[in-house]
């Protein structure tokens, strides 16, 4: 297997972060990778707001901890990249039949997977988080209403002792078949 498979295997949800700041170029490179992801009709229905300001980072982290015992680590990452779904412009032939946002959640998911793989490639840890307070984060970052917050991604150098866990995944036979 090639280096891409190795990269996929070394990306994991990192839940222990070092306080070392992340270089701005690395944050930009993560977003650049996401920008290159495919999307329906090349609609690119995404927006990324990276947050490095310590006070804002802590406020955003706190909104991910609304359930007891979940996301305790969210007080550690030095950066959060918030990932928003934007209004998609599809080709008119298609948008006549489908809701304009039909493909958008999948598109944003692909962009996030590019982002996290690029981060792993640069030695950064990430954790995609689906629990957050959208209204609070929207206010803090002044993001307009038409964008929907889909993910908050913790980004930072893995803390001491953080390592790639066993990949707990369904067996291949259960999730696929090859026909022909």
Where on the chain is the footprint of ligand FMN (CB under 6 A)?
12-13, 15, 71, 127-131, 167
Residue nearest to ligand FMN (CB): 130
Strands (E), the chain: 46-51, 79-85, 125-129, 148-156
Which residues on adjacent β-strands are paired with residue 80? 51, 154
Nearer to ligand FMN by Cβ, of 40 and 74: the residue is: 74
What is the rounded CA–CA span in Å between residue 22 and residue 3?
A: 24
To ligand FMN, the closest distance from the beta carbon of 92 in angstroms equals: 31
To ligand FMN, the closest distance from the beta carbon of 148 in angstroms equals: 13
Nearer to ligand FMN by Cβ, of 43 and 116: the residue is: 116
Nearer to ligand FMN by Cβ, of 50 and 117: the residue is: 117
CA-nearest of 49, 46, 47, 82 to 64 is 82
Nearer to ligand FMN by Cβ, of 7 and 91: the residue is: 7
To ligand FMN, the closest distance from the beta carbon of 85 in angstroms equals: 12
CA gyration radius, the chain = 17
For β-strands 79-85 and 46-51, DSSP reports them as antiparallel
């Amino acid at each position: 297997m090639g280096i891409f498979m190795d990269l996929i295997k070394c990306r994991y949800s990192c839940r222990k972060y070092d306080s070392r700041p992340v270089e701005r170029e690395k944050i930009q490179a993560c977003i650049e990778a996401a920008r290159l992801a495919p999307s329906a009709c090349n609609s690119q229905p995404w927006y990324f707001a990276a947050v490095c300001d310590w006070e804002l980072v802590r406020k955003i982290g706190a909104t991910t901890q609304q359930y007891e015992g979940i996301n305790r680590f969210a007080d550690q990452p030095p950066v959060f990249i918030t990932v928003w779904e934007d209004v998609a412009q599809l080709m008119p032939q298609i948008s006549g039949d489908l809701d304009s946002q039909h493909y958008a959640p999948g598109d944003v998911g692909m962009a996030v997977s590019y982002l996290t793989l690029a981060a792993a490639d640069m030695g950064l840890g990430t954790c995609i988080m689906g629990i957050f307070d959208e209204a609070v984060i929207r206010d803090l970052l002044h993001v307009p209403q038409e964008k929907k917050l889909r993910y908050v991604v913790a980004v930072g150098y893995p803390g001491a002792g953080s390592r790639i866990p066993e990949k707990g995944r369904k067996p291949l036979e259960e999730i696929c078949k090859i026909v022909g």
